[in-house]
A and B are shown apart, each in its own frame.
Chain A
Amino acid sequence: MILKDKVGIITGGSRGIGRAIALALAKEGANLAFTYLKSSQEAQTLVQEIEKIGRKAIGTQTDVRDFEKSKEMVENVKKEFGRLDFLVNNAGITKDKALMMMSKEDWQEVIDTNLTGMFNVTRHCIVTFLKQKSGDIINISSVSGIAGMSRQTNYAASKAGMIGFTKSLAREVAAYNIRVNAVAPGFIETEMVASLKEDYKNAMIKNIPLGRFGKVEDVTGTVKFLLSDSANFVTGQVIVIDGGLFIQ
């Protein structure tokens, strides 16, 4: 077990990639706190599943857009578990539209959740990490933020912003033994991809060199690696998990 008795926070943990990461890290021995916004039922189920693995879990309904609420959540995790070792900034939404049809709200909600949400939660964890001179931060970005994607100007901007944040913070806190990395998944089989149109999906799959959409396990494997001692000399990196779709 690579994370035995460590404690971590995963934002947006109740569904999709966040949920898969939570389960995978629990199997590696971590006790977990995760946030969710709407999916109370799914959150409750996840707590039970993590407990079944034999680890502790706290699911908190926290809007990561809210600076003060994010602080409360982080403080509560430290109080309940008595320590904090890593953070996975995963909470994210899409509001895909052509720019000419995009409202200010479509723009703002995506930026506030994906980018400012990451800032809020990281801001409240960083002092703890600095003081203890250890900590790992993984930001879940997207290939959209690297290669760009039509109808995703808002999402791509937020995900590219996460990459800039990752690289800057990695430089800033490296002297304190804190590593900051990002993963950039491509098309992964989650609700987010399921909502895409069928003919678009079929066209997309033809462009993926590995000939399939990714599975959540493809993402969790990389996250586990980045949180493990095997990645002790890796910081400020963005690992693309897209089956070769956007090989640069």
Chain B
Amino acid sequence: MQEQQLENEIRNIIAEIIEKKPEEVTPDAKFFEDLGVDSMMALEIMAAIEKKYKIAIPEEKLSQLTTLGETIRVAKEYLASGG
């Protein structure tokens, strides 16, 4: 999958869950401080990514979902291993 496509898809997933415009979800915008994400939203983001890409991300990784960039990095880790 193209890098840019993955970024756009994950950005859109996040934007929809946290009810912000996609352009507000910049790679470095901090979920909790800048975007008002709470722990339940973070979990929804994780679950939505798991569902879309048919991968399983361990619960321990939840605390690493802090920005779009970090979320993409975590997702790639599991996309690479085929889920």
Contact = CB atoms under 8 A, between A and B. Distances in A.
Interface string B36-57: 0000100100110010000000
Contacts of B40: 130, 176
Contacts, number: 11
B33 interface: no
B59 interface: yes
A52 interface: no
B14 to A, nearest CB: 16
11 contacts: A127-B43, A127-B59, A127-B62, A130-B40, A130-B43, A130-B47, A131-B43, A131-B46, A131-B47, A131-B50, A176-B40
Closest 4 CB pairs of A and B: A131-B47, A127-B59, A130-B43, A131-B43
A130 B46 CA distance: 11
A176 B47 CA distance: 13
A127 B40 CA distance: 10
Interface string A123-149: 000010011000000000000000000
Contacts of A176: 40
What is the predominant secondary structure among interface residues of chain B facing chain A? helix
A102 to B, nearest CB: 37
Interface residues of B, number: 7
Nearest to A71: B59
A93 to B, nearest CB: 29
Contacts of B59: 127
Contacts of B62: 127
A130 B47 CA distance: 9
A131 B40 CA distance: 9
Nearest to B62: A127
Given A127-B59, A131-B46, 9 more contacts: A127-B43, A127-B62, A130-B40, A130-B43, A130-B47, A131-B43, A131-B47, A131-B50, A176-B40
Contacts of B50: 131
A127 B61 CA distance: 12
